[in-house]
Structure 1
């Protein structure tokens, strides 16, 4: 079983326009490669607002469970192929979401748990597998996505097995996000408590 076997459809990206026009009246939030890491930790605030045509809006708007892959970019120490998961939380907060044309989105086939596939893709990425599937044009690295999908294996687990694994990984991720939020707010809480102490001392 290869990664290519689990993908149902690809959704091309669209950078759109900065302002609305007759040709591009539809507001969307456009996920870039730079947004992949923030999205993974539940931070959606910097995703840019763009405007796309009716055709792009109809064909390229993503839904929960879709995945966005960075196909161009990377660095000497970071390969292309980073993946972002389109969560219910992202859709709820931002509404209509597309990906930029330096990325491509995909949707998995029935019988595959999207979150399981997302986490497996992350596992492959973190093991530097995508360095083996890169070309370079004008100084920009490009992921040879078709070659990667046809070559990289994925375990042929039953949907029940996938669901169990996905549920466990999701619980772990939620705990990590909660701990990060607590740690992020500790300095603010500490500052507030010190201010209260100063006022009481006065």
Structure 2
């Protein structure tokens, strides 16, 4: 690791110390019987937080003779040996935190196991290796062959690990785990709010808010007081213009005007396209059809469509934006070549339209949920910033976890 001034009571060890650590290379698909199926952790299951995302896992036949040494146990660290990209060096790590679960690890990874847990606390080691990658120090330990980045593994094993006393290791891990758990809790709350919003959309866009009888129409059953109308009868969509010359990815004192492209805000400029609050729909690219509201002032590029003209005063922008998001306009993209949604297609889209007062009531419901989600997302962002700041300070010894031990929080 980088040469830093560690606390004097900390030691230094190396991953190559076989009295402390054991490494095992990843598994290949079995060829010789007897075979047994095993769930395999792959690079695609790694998250930036260092924990496993098991929503999409592979199950492979593994030779039984390899299962014992190729199986994962709680506390194991899985290291990415091949992968990465231009903005993400190879060498990511994940912590295996499952008990009594049969998992192996793929041939693009290696497993690191702590042998002497009286000397090294597995969670502390994991957080250090996460810091090692997060701070970019694996970048100098990678080599490229045929476009794939490989970790120079012997060099990686020669990495110096700063090692505080075991109670301090536990304290450091406790602090970082506490911050991460707070972040994960907020993320789960966001997911629940998004599910609640989706369920409300299903109901409100088909039943309304008044509990009135419904009628059959060409687009399905809708409340009796609602009408079916074409989007093109409500507004005219038009492509934006070229990007401004002074666009930057982040705003500053001069560049304050958001620039909208095919997938929302792509940067900021000092120039102004419109002083009006606009409906914006992605026109080109993978996310064509995504819907946004551009607050004023704004700049709309030619990768997006915007509401150039309104033909009715009985339509609420916030309601219409929510309704069009619900309709998933991406399904109307033109197939073949570059994904594209055109205004001619969208103008023909038939939508159910409630009276203006009910539009306002429905929009208010979604606004309240969106505000709660936005607040939770800000908390996640702040917790993520706090985690990375604490990770850096604790792993370099600039901040001490000893007060947690002395106060009795950590035993």
Cα distance change on mapping 1:41 and 1:72 into 2, 3 Å: closer
Task: Write the distance in 2 (CA, Å) between the matches of 1:194 and 1:33.
Answer: 36
Matched, 1:147 2:155: yes
Match of 1:13 among 11, 23, 26: 26
Task: Write the distance in 1 (CA, Å) between the matches of 2:95 and 2:51.
Answer: 11
Partner of 2:61: 51
Residue 22 of structure 1 deviates from its aligned partner by: 7.0
Q: TM-score, normalised by structure 1?
A: 0.85
Residue 143 of structure 1 deviates from its aligned partner by: 0.5
Matched, 1:201 2:210: yes
Q: TM-score, normalised by structure 2?
A: 0.44
Partner of 1:156: 163
| Structure 2, unpaired ranges of 5+ | 1-11, 212-411
Q: Within 5 Å, which residues of 2 pair with 1:1-202?
A: 1-4=12-15, 5=17, 7-16=20-29, 23-37=33-47, 40=50, 43-88=53-98, 91=99, 95-110=101-116, 111-150=119-158, 152-193=159-200, 198=207, 201-202=210-211
Q: Residues 80 and 143 of structure 1 are in contact (CA less than 8 Å); yes or no, is this contact kept in structure 2?
A: yes
Larger Rg: 2
Relative contact order, higher structure (CA 8 A, sep 6+): 1
Cα distance change on mapping 1:54 and 1:102 into 2, 3 Å: same
Q: Residues 105 and 111 of structure 2 are in contact (CA less than 8 Å); yes or no, is this contact kept in structure 1?
A: yes
Residue 39 of structure 1 deviates from its aligned partner by: 8.2
Task: Write the distance in 2 (CA, Å) between the matches of 1:40 and 1:115.
Answer: 11
Task: Write the distance in 1 (CA, Å) between the matches of 2:37 and 2:49.
Answer: 19
Cα distance change on mapping 1:124 and 1:38 into 2, 3 Å: closer
Q: Residues 68 and 99 of structure 1 are in contact (CA less than 8 Å); yes or no, is this contact kept in structure 2?
A: yes
Residue 173 of structure 1 deviates from its aligned partner by: 1.3
Task: Write the distance in 2 (CA, Å) between the matches of 1:24 and 1:39.
Answer: 37
Cα distance change on mapping 1:12 and 1:68 into 2, 3 Å: same
